[in-house]
Amino acid sequence: MPLSCAAKTTIQVACSFMLGLPDETLADMEASLEFAKKLNPDWCQFNIFIAYPDSKLYHEMLQTKRYTQLDEFLLSVKTDEYDFESLSKLQKRFFVEFHRRPGANPQTGEA
């Protein structure tokens, strides 16, 4: 796996995951966390999807009314399973769970 090759060098590996995409479920997001752990990069960021104004997804969210209004323009996906507030809590839990797990730093083997 390319990430394990990078870990044998001084190359640092970072991964970024989006949470709360339209039609994504909580189970999908949990699977992303498990995938991130399996990849075992040096750093991992979990970002909440925000629809870009005037994009296709932005208009789709407006039409379906499946969003949380964050300000005058920004929208976050809202479903029966989650909204922006619960995604923020999930984002924090994922970050902590990923970076505080045993073996979290593949360079040193430390948590």
pLDDT tens sequence across 3-56: 666 667 778 889 999 999 999 999 999 999 999 999 989 999 999 999 999 999
**Full 3-state SS string of the chain:** CHHHHHHCCCCCCEEEEEECCCCCCHHHHHHHHHHHHHHCCCEEEEEECEECCCCHHHHHHHHHCCEEECCCCCEEECCCCCCHHHHHHHHHHHHHHHHCCCCCCCCCCCC
CA 18 to CA 33: how far, in whole Å?
A: 11
Quote the Cα angle for 104-107-108, to 5°: 75
**The pLDDT of residue 10:** 79
Q: How would residue 59 be classed by pLDDT, with cut points 50, 70 and 90?
A: very high
**The pLDDT of residue 5:** 67
Q: How would residue 109 be classed by pLDDT, with cut points 50, 70 and 90?
A: very low
**The pLDDT of residue 37:** 94
Structural domains of the chain, with CATH: 2-99 (3.30.750)
